[in-house]
Structure 1
Amino acid sequence: MDKERDNSGDFLDRVGPDISASIFRTFDHPADLLRASLVKRSWRRFVVENDFCRKLCERLFPEAAIFAAAVEVSRSAPLSPRSSPSPDSPESSGDVESRAAQAEFRIYSNLLRALVSTRRSVDCILHCIGASSTDNFPDETIENTLEPQDRINLRPSYSSGGQDEDGVTETLTYRLSSDICIVHEIRIQPFEAYFPRMVRFRMGHCKLPCESESFVTDEDKDEDENQEDIADENYVWTYTSPEFPVLQESSLQTFKLQRPVLCIGGVVKIELLGVQRQATDDRYYICVCHAQVVGRSLSPVLMVDISDSGSRLVLKYLPAARGMRGMRSKALMQDNTLEWLEWARRTRYNQTRRLATMNLLLGPVQINELDNIIGGGV
């Protein structure tokens, strides 16, 4: 009788899997989906087996569909969801599938939490990769656009190299602070009379391994090498914005994207459309003082592994990397050693102690509700 009462009270059993799936697909906020997974074991199993977390990620941010696989990097060997059991493994295929499904649930539930985080947006640019052309290189290099000022050593911060014809598109390409960023808006301050008429933005990843990608530096690169770095054949663009009109004035202008965009791979290209003619040499130029890519970084817990010449992207989840800086965690993650895991544990312990001290001084700190559901922070 008790068993019958329990079955009769299970919503999933009463309405059936098809209607249940239709209802679960209406959830448009991660908190609703993750709360449902906590109702009872059968509900969690239903969420896990139907990949609802991954599907919601892709619905909120279509760029997430580019991932070919997702891997949880832990103390043991990395577990890839939907992997096949080894012939020598004592586990059945059902056990492996269940563990893989649970891993995928953890990966994408943490990605969901990061996607809807209320952390403050900041300028995400880490490095300059290169510009399509530069006048007076390296004095007017793209690197000057990282500084919020009109001139560097009495020169325009950045100036294009000058074109013989109108209609040429000049570009500025930047590396963001992490592999995965949510970008809300891009800000550009053009310089004096050499304003672009329109701007457009592209986001994506480099096909080359990270260690082979180089950046602009005044000392060791010339303009020809700069052109090789930004060649379009080296990149895969997963998002292209519409064109935005530019006010013909020297002010920091904000271009808000139609929706937040998931930049997977950490590369943003700013396309400057419509150059201006200079009377002294009858050539066409564009000048830019400053540029910002405003959003939030999702590293170091979530990273991207790129292989097969950029055609295969793997989402990596590093639960032990909370509190670590992106570049440090990336270098250590490649080894996946006990030393890396111990370093991550110590870092998180120190962070907890600092939080406890703040609580004593400032009072209790509000914790995002999803932290309690998933556990930990991104």
Structure 2
Amino acid sequence: MSTMEYRKDFLSCLDSDTSLKILMCLDDPADLVRVTCVSRSWRHSVIENGLCKQLCLRMFPQLSRVAFVVELNQHGAKEHAEVGSSYSMEWLVLQREHRVFAYLGKALMSSVAMNCIAKTVGASSTDNFPRESIDNTLEPRDTISGRFSYWSSNGQSNPNVPETLTYELISEICVITEINIQPFQAYFQQGSPIYSANAVRFKMGHPKASLDAVDDELFVWTYTSPEFPMSQENRLQKFKLPEPVLCIGGILQIELLGRVQRQEMDGLLYICVSHVQVLGGSLSPPFSVNILQPSGMFVLKRDQLANHQPVVKSGNESEDVSVEPRGMRDYQQIVTIMRGQVVGFVEDEWDEEEYDIDDFDPEQAF
């Protein structure tokens, strides 16, 4: 096989629909970024068809509510049209979406698992406030200062009366994968009963813009999980969502459905919880949202400066990542990409006035 045949662009031999189907088979944002570095025509195809955005939508359907994207602190960034085209607003918007969704895709696939609860919002009822308040569910210990730590609902004679626990998450945009709940076992009562619910369900969403006095619902729920059965066992029970969920708005509510345990003292049914965990990852501070009321659509914002990470050294010392001249940084990245060893994302769009990517010969880089 000759050198010319080896370097031939196989996508140019296919019709546009077929080449697009091939590119849409890529399921990693890093691969799409590699594609944009192969040639100007491949880059144009990825950006024009919004492939990074489409990939993020397939991963998290909640992103279908994005009205538009915004880049913050883009000092010195150059947005330019392709050779032979005008500085159309449409192309600049496509470039911006490509960058934002490429970085978002990376963040969605690399978020670190952590407990995402920031604070409690409230419970539908509380038996003895504040001793048995929802705040106790944030404490993993069963006892504090010799006193049992748990939340308790009011007693009910009807086993079908539900309860809710509502929490604010650590940011307005989080990926949630699992919710863990531990029912409370009352060792101080005869028989040590466990006051679990019969089932649980989870809702995610955002607060309403204004509080309507005639509407008891204070939140807009954009996701509702299926019901999960809960065991009447004193352990941290794990409820993994069918798919990771992008919580936009930072509010999570736990619905406790069905009562199974009566209190011997009054004969009423209670639900009690000792601990709650919400596992997932925060996409903040690099990403933030602005909810557009009353439509429920939102603006997705990416802060370029928030991507800057310190290099952690021994002890508590740290130093900033050194910034190389852009030309040298781009050259090193493109060589790494050609070698198939990409570990990160290209920071900016290629400067095509400085580098003719179509004519780049990978053999000359080694």
Answer whether TM exceeds 0.5 for this pair.
yes
1:33 paired with 2:69, answer no
Single out whichever of 38-47 and 304-313 deviates more from structure 2: 304-313
Distance 2:157 2:130 in 1: 21
1:73 paired with 2:42, answer no
Letter in 2 for 1:195: S
Distance 1:161 1:48 in 2: 56
**Displacement after TM superposition at 1:309 (Å):** 3.2
- The counterpart of 1:173, out of the listed 166, 173, 184, is 166
**Displacement after TM superposition at 1:232 (Å):** 6.4
- The counterpart of 1:233, out of the listed 213, 217, 225, is 217
- The counterpart of 1:247, out of the listed 231, 253, 269, is 231
Distance 1:234 1:172 in 2: 13
- 1:181–1:374 distance in 2 versus 1, CA, 3 Å: farther
Preserved CA contact (<8 Å) 1:205 1:236: yes
Flag structure 1 segments of 5+ consecutive residues without an equivalent.
Answer: 77-91, 213-227, 325-348, 354-368
- CA offset digits 1:289-332 (Å, max 9, x no partner): 000001111110111101223622111111112359xxxxxxxx
Preserved CA contact (<8 Å) 2:162 2:257: yes
Correspondence for 2:41: 42
Distance 1:232 1:102 in 2: 43
1:146 paired with 2:145, answer no
**SS state of the match for residue 372, structure 1?**
coil
1:124 paired with 2:98, answer no
Correspondence for 1:51: 50
Flag structure 2 segments of 5+ consecutive residues without an equivalent.
Answer: 76-84, 186-193, 310-317, 323-340, 349-366
- Structure holding more helix per residue: 1
- 1:68–1:371 distance in 2 versus 1, CA, 3 Å: farther
Preserved CA contact (<8 Å) 1:110 1:374: no
Larger radius of gyration: 2
Preserved CA contact (<8 Å) 1:149 1:157: no
1:373 paired with 2:345, answer yes
Preserved CA contact (<8 Å) 1:151 1:289: no
Correspondence for 2:257: 273
Letter in 1 for 2:175: I
- The counterpart of 2:93, out of the listed 94, 100, 116, is 100
Distance 1:232 1:293 in 2: 25
**SS state of the match for residue 197, structure 1?**
strand
Q: TM-score, normalised by structure 2?
A: 0.75
Preserved CA contact (<8 Å) 2:103 2:345: no
Correspondence for 2:198: 197
**Displacement after TM superposition at 1:94 (Å):** 4.6
Q: When the two structures are aligned, how many residues end up with a matched partner?
A: 301
Preserved CA contact (<8 Å) 1:303 1:315: yes
**Aligned sequence identity (%):** 47
Preserved CA contact (<8 Å) 1:156 1:287: no
Let me know the Cα RMSD of the aligned residues. Answer: 2.9
Preserved CA contact (<8 Å) 1:206 1:310: no
- 1:310–1:189 distance in 2 versus 1, CA, 3 Å: farther
Q: TM-score, normalised by structure 1?
A: 0.72
Correspondence for 1:366: none
Preserved CA contact (<8 Å) 2:173 2:247: yes
Distance 1:139 1:167 in 2: 25
Letter in 2 for 1:305: N
**SS state of the match for residue 232, structure 2?**
coil
